[in-house]
Each structure stands twice: as structure tokens, then as C-alpha cells.
Structure 1
Amino acid sequence: MAYEAGSQIITASIGGSSGWSEEPWAVVVSRIVEAGVPCTVSTGNDGAKGLFYASTASDGTRVTSIASFDNEYTPTLSIESTFTIDSGEETPFGWTPGEPSEWAGVDLPLWATSFDTADPAGGCTPYPDDTPDLSGFIVLVRRGSCTFVQKAQNALAKGAKYIIFYNNSPVGAVGPSVTAVDGILGSAGVSATQGAAWVQALAAGSTVTLQMTDPETSEKILTYPRNELTGGFASSYTTWNPTFELEVKPQIAAPGGNILSTYPVTLGSYAVLSGTSMSCPLAAAVFALLAEVRGTFDPATLEHLLAATSNPQMYNDLTATRYGVLAPVVQQGAGLIQAYDAAFATTILSRSSIAFNDTDYLEPTANFTIKNFGTEAVSFDLGHVGAVTAYTFSDSIRVDPYPGMEITDEFATLEISETKVTVPAGGEAVVSVTVTPPAIDGKRLPVYSGYITLNGTNGESLSLPYNGVVGSMNSVRILDDAWLSLSSDPQHTPITGTGSSFVLPRDPATGGANVTYPVASADLVFGTRSLDIQLVKLPCNGTATTGGKKLGSIEGAPFPYLPRDPINVPFDGTMADGKVAPPGNYVFEFSALHIFGDIEDPTEYEVRRSAPFTIRYN
């Protein structure tokens, strides 16, 4: 609809796990880009899932996938209240309301569970017997280790009604929810700095009293504490790529973590939000500015300019450790966008990235063209900087989470045809690059990446990202298991016995909530281009799960372009051809196609069968 309405740029901060550029939504957006309309799409907020969790439709060919970086500061909209120390002057402070939040008129002293502001588990154990009656205090406890609810329960056991959590990281305050703890009337959060200052005063024997206000009517204050932990790095939630066919994603990154923005007036007019839903529209706005300056909306031109001028940043795994090596391309793309540099660059590269593929299908050599649109010749020094190599697996068939994945600084080696090249005004030069992947354990499917660097005599510093895989994508296991489960079981617990029997409505359209259906369940630990689920009829009096007659695919199957997620398909007796399976004894047979596998070759599939079950009709 946006395309048909004549939009010049389309941005979408929405998506879900995919990893396939051939998935329908990705194809639609790719076609819009091919028609000349730039499309920026959020790369997703599933960073914790680890590698190979690309989001649709950002994984579409030529679609510009946008990753997120954390703000170097954490703008915090807080409720303004005051506190006193030993009945001195009232000092203002900011706090974030939690749930519940009955703070209006509360004027009570603080009581701290501990004077240790580095305690990772403060308030996680029952309070000692000599703890005073806390009904006349506001309990101050450090965030960390156990849940907010557990901390609140321990405080409630000693009479507490009000509790304030101070943060355990330098990224502002959190609004804790302890609604599950009946008896707590007010919860709130303050920054690590504020909490530590109060603890220091309490430890010195002072009385700290808080004059709390109604969060619904109080004035708001805006503060900008510096984010010392993750500021300027890729956001923890930004989704890791590449696609299952090893296309380079994301393309670029923009600020998306802790962004102050407008908000519905009825909800306060302003809010601080995080996500690729914040970085993506920012990138779209940069596209618009760039299009105005350059006089073109050509998607490739704009993407290539932004990718070449972006700044790759260092790796961060949410700890204070500074690795001194670049974050991988599959996390940050070309890096943090530089709008001004892209707008006024006189050099354009012919591509925004290079994909070298895996060991089986290695494409070791790639070319790119340097085009000089300036009025003077420019000489470029060409080089290479490696980025973090991340292992997909450790000792499991499941992809390692982030943080938690193992990394290494064993980089690929690049041979560049020219280490120095001069491009005349209005001219171009072709450069060839040949990769030698790092010699590391391919069974763990390490993903390597890096940046080809170009430093020009005109002051421009450009880079070209690449990625590849050591190992065989085709050999990666797709299915953990596949089984029979019940539609009445939301957990889809595997049924392993032989006595399952289902009475289905003769007409599937008459089914309802009171009918329990057999469910074909599969746990995909890696993506597949095709998952077929066939119904296999067994002998009437048999319980064997081998052999039998295949009746064909069940309705909906085969399922194309699936991510590495569980899938549960209720079966009401309807087959893919629209016919209804006859009564009988059956198993589900699951066939998952390996990455890069020939869809017509039966040996390219992993095959599992469910426990047997019987269906009949009422």
C-alpha cells in the first residue's frame, strides 16, 4: 500500500524470525526496492538468540537492514521528589515508578538491606531476626541476582510496604513490578549513583528521609547519566545474522538504545525507548536527507554511500571487558551511520558488502569498483581489518546465546589486488579481493567477518564489510526432535506411547474448542527451506512406526522457509490436496531439508517419525 501510494522511502519497524531472503514478505520488499524505492527494515530485537536469527523482511535481498547501537548517554524521564539528610535542606532527586505505585504523600526514612553497594544478591535471602519493623521505612535494596518479587517478599516478611531498588548498572533507573507481592503498596527505581549516595549517608549514621510525590501529577525531570557499560556499542538486543544462505545482514546501524522521543500525549508526550524500532526510523530519516543532498532516491546508491562511510565499532559483551577488536559484521553491519560523510562523499563503491559463503561453497574472490565523482584524482591506500569471529555452537546442536557465545580474534586473511590505487576525476578502478578463511574448527560453524579499508588523499575513510563461514552449512543438524502432541496441551509435551486415539469431526469446519486434535510438533534447531509433514498409514493392528503407506502431506505442508523455532501443526484430518484422511492408525513423518540441499534429492533431508496414533470420525 505504501508503494502504491507513491512513497519515496518506506520504513518498517516490524518483523519476526526468518533467515530466508526468499520468504514471501522479504520478496515483496525486495521487489519494491528493485522498483526504485529504498526500504529500511529493523534487523530485529532478538540478540539473545545468537547467530543465524535474521528477521523478515530485513533479510530480503537489497533491503537495507538496520541494527541498533546504544546511546552514549541514558536520557531518563523521572518523577521529581525530594529527600533530606538529618532534617537538612530538601534535595531533589529523580525516580522511576514501578508497580504498584501508591507513593502520594509518603514521607518516610530509608532503611538499607546492606551497606555494600557491590553486593550482587542484596535482599535475596530472608532478613535476620534483629531486623526492625519495616512498616515505618522505605526499604532500599540493590538490584541484582534474584527477582524483584523475591526481594519484595523478603522485605514484606519484616513489615515493609514500600521498596526502592537502586540499579546495579550505570544505565539509569528501572521501574520494577512487584504486583505479585500482596502487601507492597509502592515500588520504584533509582539510579546506581543515587542509591550509592544514600547508602553512603546511611552507613555514616545519618537519617535519610524521602518526601515522595504522586507519580501521576508530579513534575518530570530529564537527566542524562552517561552509559559507561554499553554506550556507543551494538545494543544487546540487536539481532545477530547472517541469513541461512550467508547473505550479509545487517547493512548499517543507527542509535536505538535509550532514545528520547515523542510519545502519545495521553501517555506523557515523551518517552525513552529502546529497540531497532528506534534505530530504523532514524536511518530512514538519514536516507531522506541523503536523497535530498545527492539528488537521487536510487536505493543502491544511498545504501552504498551509507555503508562505505559508516564507522565500525568495537565488540562488547555487556561486561566491563574491552576487547580491542571490532564487533562482527553479522551484528553491526558496516557500523554506525555517518550522515554528513555519506552526504558529501565524492567516492562511491559498487557494492555495500561481500559474502564469501561457507567452506563447501566458498566464493574466494570478489571484485568491487571504486568510482570517483570528484573533480580531482584521488589515491587510496587499501587494507584490511578483521572483526570478531564468533562460534555458532559450543558442545550442543543448539546455537549459543549472546552473551555466552565463544569468540576469537583469529581472522581471515585477505589478498587485495592493489594496496594503492589512484582513481582519476570522473573515473573508476576495479579491485579484486581473495579470502583465505581462518584455520579453525569448522564443526562449530564459526562466522568470520571484517572490513576492507580505503583511505583516500581527499580525506575520505571508507570501508567494505564482508562475512563468511568456516564449515559446512549443509551438514548442520536441522531437527532436535519431532513428535506427536495434543492440541489441548499448550506445552506440546511429546507423546511417546502407542495408545493415542482421536475422535475428529467428520466435517473439519464443525470442529471446536472441545475437540482434541493430534498435533505434529517439531523442534527446529536450525532453519530449513522446506519442512514436509506426511501422514503415513500403518497396519490396522500394528504399533510399529516403520514402513507403512504414505498418504501425502498434511494440510499446509510442506512448510517453506522456516526459522530455527519450534513449529506445532494441529491436524484435523485434512490433507494438502483437500481430501480427508480415512480412519486408521498413523504416524507423522517429518522431512527437513538441509541448508543448500537439493529439494528433489531425498538424501538431503533429515527424517523423523512421531509415535503412532489412531484417528476416527464421529
Structure 2
Amino acid sequence: MACTTPLRAAIPLLCETCRKYAIMSYCFVVFTCYFLVLVHSTKLIVEVYSLNDVSKAASYLQQRQIPCLDSSMEVAVHRRYTNTIFPGLAIDVSSGHHQTVDTLKECISALPQVVNVWQSHTYKLSSSRHAPRSTSPQKLNPGIFHELTGVDKLHEQGIKGQGVVIGIIDEGVDYLHPAFGRGLGENFTVQYGLDLAGDAYAAGIDPVPDPDPYAECSFHGTHVTGIATGAQEDIGYVGVAPEAKVEHYRITGCDDSAPLRADVIVDAILAAHRREVDVMSISLDQRTGPFDDDVVSAVLERIAKEDKIVVVVSAGNEGWQGPFSATSPASAKGVISVGAVNAKQVVYSTPRARYRVLGGKQWHDFAWSTATPSRFPASLELHALTLNTNVEDDACNELKGDLDLSGRLVLVRRGTCNFDKKMMHLAARGAEYVLLYDNEADETLPFRYDNNFPGIKGAGSVTAKTGKQLISLRAAGSHIEMAMDSNFTLEPYLELDEADDTAGYVSSHGSWGPSGDLSLEPSLVAPGWDIWSTVPRSWGGYDTFSGTSMAAPYAAGCIALLRQVFPDVGAEVLARRLSSTAKPMRFNDGTNKTYDFLAPAWQQGGGLVNLPAATNVQTDVSLASLSFNDTHCLPGILTFELTNCGDGPASYSLRPQSAVTLAIFANSSHKTITSWTNKNTSSIADQEFLDSLLPQGQYADILLSPTNLILAAGETSVIEVAATLDKLKDLEARCPLYSGFVEVTSNRSETLTIPYGGIACRMADIASLPPGSKDTFLSAATFQQVEEGGNYGPQAIDANRTFTLPHPTAPVPELNSTMEYPTVILKLGMYSPAVQTGLVGMGCTPATCPIASYPERENTGRAGGYSRVTTSHLLWRGQLANGTWAHEGCCAFEVCAARMWHAGQDCLTTSSFCFYYAESG
């Protein structure tokens, strides 16, 4: 792309009046670099026109039969996508010199077989962990998990997902768990799977696929699988669709710092599509903007359009930021985007282990916590470093003598030094298995920690009381045999708690809409907060986690139940039956306060899934939601079709139900969208957010025609819907975000709803970079600080600071280099489809000198756009977007962010700085 090429326009245009703001240049050629040592390696996803073109394009690229691929470059083809819905390649271009996004884009696009080239973006899984609680063992009533949604009623009718296949795209799964039948194959819950990453996959190491999706080094994949399906009767656990089958597609290795790569995710999605699963569950997000032009969204939209597979995606966990916190791929058209509600009852579990005097018969049970990941042999003899339970620095110093700790479980007291030091000293003496006991006598629960200690295969903790009991037995001369139960043969300790005052309400943590084209998002909500489900056996078998990651498989399980009831309807109809029968929920602010108005549809979509209603419905609506866009693109009339699918005539009544409207700006300055809270750990709304809720009566008037009608069996009628914003005109400067529900009731006791929404101002008037913003500034950072997500606490630098940059011919610095670079800290006030950063000064303008920044994913053409809820860190080495290097001197950066519909852009100039290149060689 030449320097004068305008910012990309990758947003579908919703009305003719907006078309003039857009430049229809869909530029998808971008790339991401993954670094251990920063040798330049560019990962791309290349789409071609047909399956026949896959081999041709691969050959051209590998043999560098394009003039722009010079002799210093090597092209490796890692994946061939041989699926008609998305034929293409995943490639890796290695080069002895830096190639920019724009250079490679023009290069690869020159092949006649190529349709698009996408960035291999990174994604993340979203969930948070809760502390364990233990008490006496008990069997749970399976109904407690599903009373909120009516799933228990379907189970009572024998509807449990028989004959339905759920494809889960996630981390690996412990299919040897008893809830899955302890096996892989057609006779087990997990009937098929693939590992698209491999255990050894890590940053800088390419995936090595294999046919086995098994993994116990992480919890997420096993947890979401258990939510969707599976059951363990002896403790009372049951998933949503316990008799459905699972096909599991693993997309991560065991290194949790390794990125979730788009090329791997696409491979998994296409594999599930090829296997013709009934529903896909995908619990990940890109943490970019809410635009659907990333490659994963593109593939999911094509699958949804085929009308065969229902695609379910988690909405994300940025709800603390309030409205406009959506992200892709949940913004993909045709997918079910799922927010979360809080569980009504919360189950906590703690693993059980056993000990006995060596040679004895009597086992004694105790609660413990495993340091994850860990795996222990079936039994180990206990060894205590000291019999003094008052020692404060156990294992804090090098261990003396010729002590050999191999083959034993070493009991060590917590305290004085960090766990790393203790484990280092123990491992130096051959220890592979360690049990820490607490130094706080009043703690009744084992503490948690992660096992990331070199040489330690298994670790865990017990309370001070349990530790002292074991020490006393050793002091009495007894040898102790320990059985830590890594294969989960013992029932865990369970506790059932009533949830807090927000039980059953929409979780404040789920991301809000709208999407990038102002469509309504999420689609609906399902249980996702405080969800007890399966984890790998060596992790304790069960645990409680939270997030929309948990809500997505719940909704996927609901689709499995519906598919059993309606085996012949299309995927779109099935998805709409779930969303249109959902129950709109009242607003909750995170406390026990009650409100008499509905929560915005932008937060809850159609509402909470209601399975009895979904399975009994005899009416179809043709749309999942209605978008009224902004005031500039406000449609005159929207329509949807209402169809009577019953055997006889039915009468219908229609009425609008408004949800609470919120003004997204506290005042008319249009600077900062009001967040739910300024503390991302809090679920309670700040007073500033509550003040943004407009009094009842300030909403959009929705006009319906007709409002009453009778339809014969099989008959369809067109319903017209219009919105008038007279009641919100005086508040236009604060941009009221309105929403509600078109309610359809029948004489068959059916109630269906279609959520609607819009914004009562012009999006083109909202600045992506608000004037005077202090959230975007020039800082200094190392490669490693930027790669680790900017957690170093960036600060603005003084004007005219001088940087010494590596010479352009020098090798790319190592990741752990301490060299600091000029780095733009970018935080938007409103999401943007594109951002461009260029130099100002030295004869440069942003148009003539756009920069190439690191990470490359932060460059102008980033798929998904730029979110307002995340911060980007744009590190600069001195290179421009066209591959040349800037001349030494003093300058500044100008950052420009496109507004919605590309209706102009907002620009900010940073403080000035100077830079010089180090001597070469």
C-alpha cells in the first residue's frame, strides 16, 4: 500500500447516506510476528479462489516465483486449507531483513490465485478462577445447575441431546474424566478430536498437530466441555446436553504464554465444519475492535450462511467498561454471541487425597489443593524436611549433606521465602513431588498456587492442621504412604452455597454491544458466572470458574437440546428459536437493589435462554434483532416476518417493551464513554454510570404495524417496525443508547421477543481520539515490555528526548534487550476501524511517512479494528511503512484514528523526540 493510500474501509455500509463516507478498499493483507529471539518471521493466512489453487499458490510461494520475494526470503507452508468454504494456506515468510505489512501485502496479492491475505492474529480465552471451599462430602441434586434456564425440565422429559454432535474449539480436554466416560471414541462422550497445536507448541515454536486432543496441562477445554455435555451421577453432576457427543479441536499447547494463533483456529474450525458437527462452541476473543473483518470472523460468517451449523461464540469479559466494549469474533454476522448471567447457586469443590501408615490398611482422607499442572504417582512415601512445625524458613536455604529426595513426597512448611526459592532448593536434591502446609493455623482451606517450577512434576498444599497431623505421625516413627489421586478416583469435598444478591441477574462482566456496524450484541445470555464443571483429573476433577467462556458452551448445549427436538429445521431457525424465546431480564447494578426496568438489550441481547419455551414454540420470526443504527442512518421502516408453524390458526398481539436508555457521555463534551466501573475487579456499577441511566419515559417510541393479527397454519405476515426519537432529541449531545424488545404473544400462551436498539446521535460526530485526550501519548519501552502487554506502567516522556536506535542493517534485537524505543501509547475514546501513525517534521507528514510499528499487529490494517477498551503499544525502530528507514533527526508522531463510517478522522500529535542510529557492524 502506497503512503497515500487512505485508511481501509472494512465496515459494511448500512445506508446510502453513509456510503459517501466510505472508501471501498478491503485490505486484508497484514501479519503478526512471534518472537523468542526477534528473528523476523511473518505468519500469514492466504485465501485462494479454489481448491485447485491451493497447490499452485503453495508452489509459487515456496519457490519464490514472485519478483518481490527475493533470495533472502524463505516461505514455509505450514497448513493447507482444503475446504471449499475457505481454500487457502498458512505460511511463514522468513527474511534476513525486515519486510513491512504493506510490502508483503502487495507482494503476496500479486499472485493471480490469491483472494485475500489475512493477519494471523492472536486471541485469548477469557475466564477467572474462584477460591475453593471444602466441607463434608455430599451428592448434589443435578437440577440445581439448570433450574434457571429450564434445562432441567427437558432432562425430565428425556431430552438430553441424543444424536447431536457439539464441536468444541478450545484447549485440550481430559477425556479420561469420569464425566466423559473415561475414553475417546464412539462409545464415549468425546467421540472424536484433533490436536492442531501439540503439547510442545510455544512462542517461537511452530505447532505440531496430532490426532489426539488430550491435555491436562490446562483447565479451560475440559471445563467448557463439561458445561456443554457429560455427567457423573455419583456426585450429581450433569451438563446441559449430557447425551450429546463432542468432537474436540485443541488449539493450544501447554505453554500458557503462547499465543492462540488465527491460522490454528481457522484449521480447527474448518476441521469441525468438514466433520459436519451440529453446533460449534468457541470461547475466545481477539481483544481488538468489534469489526468482523478478521479471518476467524470471515470463516464463521460463511459457515453460518450455509445454514447447517449453529455457531456459538463468547461475547467477552470487558463489561466493566460498559457499552461499546464488544470484540470479534463475537461480532461476526450470523453467530450467536453469548453474554453471561450469574449462577443462582454456587458449588465449590476441593480435591480429596489419602494417607495411611505404611503397611497398614486404614486410609485417612484429607482435603488438599493441587498446584496446577501437576501429576503424582499412585502412591509416594512422605518425607518431612523437619519435624519442627514451628520452623519459619523451611527449605529457604540450600539443603546440607547428601540428602536424596527423589521418589518421595516432600512435606515443607510455608513461609519466609517465596515458593520459587523453596522449590529450587528441593529440586537440587532430587525432589519431584512437594506438599506445602500452611503457616497460618486459622486457615481452614488449602491455598492455591501454580506449578511452574523447573524439575517439579507434582506439587500441592494442605492446611496447617493437616500438615501438623502428618508431621506428628512422622515424629512418632511412622512411615506414611500418600495417595494424591491424580486419576480422580475419590469424590471431592463439596459445598453448595446460595449465590449473592446478584444471583440470576445479568453478569456485569460480560461485554456490551454494539458491534462495529451498530448491530445488536450480544445475542442472548446464559449461565456463565460461578459455574462448577469438570477440570482435568489431576487438577481435582471439578472446579468453579467464571466468564462468557462458560456461557458459550452452555448455549451450545441448549442448541443441542433444540436440535434433538427439531432435527429438520435449518441452523438459522434453530438459533432464532433460542434467542426469540429468551426472557428479557431486569437491570441489576451489582448489588441487592431492585429496579423496575429492563436491562439494556446491548447488555443482555434477547435475554436469558428459556428452554421449555424454545422447545414448545410454534411461531417463527425471521430476524434475531432489529438495528436502528444512528440518527444519520436511521431507517424509515424495518420489517420482519411472523410465521405460524402450528397446525391451526393463531391470533397474535404485538407491543414494544422499552429497556432503560443510557446516555453514553456524562456531558456534551464527547470525551469519555461512561464505564460501568473504573475498577475492572468490581462488579458494582459506579454512581457515574447509574447517573447515565435516563429516567423512564426517555426512550425511543417504537411503532408496529399491524399490532393484532390472525394467521392460519403455515401463514406468514410482514410486520413493519419504525422508531421515532422525539423524546431523546434534547439529549442528542450525550448520545442516548436506546433499546428494548418487540414482544409477540399468541393465544397459544407463547411469548417471543425481538431485541432492538439504536443510538440517538450521529456516530460520525463522535471522536475516536477526543480532543485533549491524555490517554494517548509518547512513552519509552523495550521490546519485552511491549510484548508482555504493556504492564510496565508506561509514562509520558519529556519532550526532545533522544533515542539511539539499532542501525538498520543490524540484526533485530533480542526480546530481553534493555534498549528503549519511542513508543506510542494509544487508547481510544471510541472504537475505530483503522488507525494510522506517521512522522511529523524533517520534511515528513503522516501521509508521506507512515511508520511500521512493533508489534506488527498494531499497524494500520489491523483486522477487527481498534477497541476503545484496550490499550495499544506502538514501538518504533525507525522503519517506515514502505520498508525504508527514516532519516535521523528530531520529529514527532501524529496518530490518526478513523471515525465510524470513515467519516473523517481525529489526529493527535505527540511530544517531540530525537533519534539517531548506532554505528553498523
* TM-score, normalised by the number of residues in structure 2: 0.51
2:523 to 244, 251, 256: 251
Quick check: 1:355–1:467 contact (8 Å CA) kept in 2? yes
Query: Does residue 473 in structure 1 map to residue 763 in structure 2?
Result: yes
Quick check: 1:364–1:436 contact (8 Å CA) kept in 2? no
Q: Deviations over 1:286-322 (max 9, x none)?
A: 2122223222463321121111111111111111110
Give the Cα–Cα distance (whole angstroms) in 1 for the partners of residues 562 and 292 of structure 2.
Answer: 26
1:448 to 724, 738, 760: 738
Deviation larger for 565-574 or 484-493: 484-493
Give the Cα–Cα distance (whole angstroms) in 2 for the partners of residues 378 and 357 of structure 1.
Answer: 33
SS in 1 for 2:497: coil
Deviation at 1:551, TM superposition (A): 2.5
Give the Cα–Cα distance (whole angstroms) in 2 for the partners of residues 312 and 187 of structure 1.
Answer: 48
Q: Deviations over 1:450-498 (max 9, x none)?
A: 1111110122111111011122222222223533221237333222311
Q: Where in structure 2 are the equivalents of 1:335-350 lying within 5 Å?
A: 335-350=607-622
Query: Does residue 416 in structure 1 map to residue 704 in structure 2?
Result: yes
Deviation at 1:282, TM superposition (A): 1.4
Distance 1:514 1:232, change over 3 A: closer
1:260 to 522, 528, 532: 532
Distance 1:536 1:187, change over 3 A: farther
Quick check: 2:846–2:894 contact (8 Å CA) kept in 1? no
SS in 2 for 1:421: strand
Quick check: 1:310–1:337 contact (8 Å CA) kept in 2? yes
SS in 2 for 1:435: strand
What corresponds to 1:543 in structure 2?
none
1:605 to 906, 916, 921: 906
SS in 2 for 1:32: helix
Query: Does residue 552 in structure 1 map to residue 850 in structure 2?
Result: yes
Deviation at 1:348, TM superposition (A): 0.6
What corresponds to 1:47 in structure 2?
319
Query: Does residue 581 in structure 1 map to residue 886 in structure 2?
Result: yes
Q: Where in structure 2 are the equivalents of 1:182-331 lying within 5 Å?
A: 220-296=492-568, 298-331=570-603
SS in 2 for 1:300: helix
1:484 to 778, 782, 785: 778
SS in 1 for 2:915: strand
Distance 1:49 1:518, change over 3 A: same
Give the Cα–Cα distance (whole angstroms) in 2 for the partners of residues 260 and 558 of structure 1.
Answer: 42
What corresponds to 2:713 in structure 1?
425
Q: Say which structure is richer in strand.
A: 1
Give the Cα–Cα distance (whole angstroms) in 2 for the partners of residues 95 and 246 of structure 1.
Answer: 50
Distance 1:299 1:595, change over 3 A: same
Q: Where in structure 2 are the equivalents of 1:55-70 lying within 5 Å?
A: 55-70=327-342
Deviation at 1:174, TM superposition (A): 11
What corresponds to 2:806 in structure 1?
504
Unmatched tracts of structure 2, length 5 or more: 1-266, 353-365, 372-383, 390-438, 450-461, 466-481, 677-684, 786-791
What corresponds to 2:826 in structure 1?
522
Give the Cα–Cα distance (whole angstroms) in 2 for the partners of residues 553 and 346 of structure 1.
Answer: 58
User: Would you identify which runs of 4 or more consecutive aligned residues in structure 1 move more than 6 Å?
Assistant: 94-99, 173-177, 214-219, 546-549
Quick check: 1:498–1:613 contact (8 Å CA) kept in 2? yes
Deviation at 1:592, TM superposition (A): 0.8
What corresponds to 2:281 in structure 1?
11
Give the Cα–Cα distance (whole angstroms) in 1 for the partners of residues 440 and 344 of structure 2.
Answer: 36
Q: Deviations over 1:214-233 (max 9, x none)?
A: 99799744333322511111
Quick check: 2:338–2:523 contact (8 Å CA) kept in 1? yes
Quick check: 1:98–1:175 contact (8 Å CA) kept in 2? no
* TM-score, normalised by the number of residues in structure 1: 0.74
Give the Cα–Cα distance (whole angstroms) in 1 for the partners of residues 874 and 464 of structure 2.
Answer: 42
Deviation at 1:607, TM superposition (A): 3.8
SS in 2 for 1:74: strand
SS in 1 for 2:563: helix
Deviation at 1:164, TM superposition (A): 5.0
What corresponds to 1:355 in structure 2?
627
What corresponds to 1:204 in structure 2?
none
Distance 1:582 1:98, change over 3 A: same
- Letter of the aligned partner of 2:849 in structure 1? L
Deviation larger for 558-567 or 508-517: 508-517
Quick check: 2:323–2:512 contact (8 Å CA) kept in 1? yes
- Letter of the aligned partner of 2:809 in structure 1? D
Distance 1:535 1:445, change over 3 A: same
1:35 to 266, 283, 306: 306
Distance 1:504 1:413, change over 3 A: same
SS in 2 for 1:255: strand
- Letter of the aligned partner of 1:491 in structure 2? G
Give the Cα–Cα distance (whole angstroms) in 2 for the partners of residues 527 and 62 of structure 1.
Answer: 22
Query: Does residue 460 in structure 1 map to residue 750 in structure 2?
Result: yes
Q: Deviations over 1:144-179 (max 9, x none)?
A: xxxxxxxxxxxxxxxx944459xxxxxxx99799xx
Deviation at 1:332, TM superposition (A): 0.9
Q: Deviations over 1:559-590 (max 9, x none)?
A: 44111122111112222222222333332121
Q: Deviations over 1:6-59 (max 9, x none)?
A: 242221111143221233332232122123332100011221111111122111
Give the Cα–Cα distance (whole angstroms) in 1 for the partners of residues 635 and 556 of structure 2.
Answer: 32
Give the Cα–Cα distance (whole angstroms) in 2 for the partners of residues 573 and 547 of structure 1.
Answer: 15
SS in 2 for 1:324: coil
Q: Deviations over 1:520-540 (max 9, x none)?
A: 33221221111001123426x
Quick check: 2:803–2:821 contact (8 Å CA) kept in 1? no
Distance 1:577 1:296, change over 3 A: farther
SS in 2 for 1:538: coil
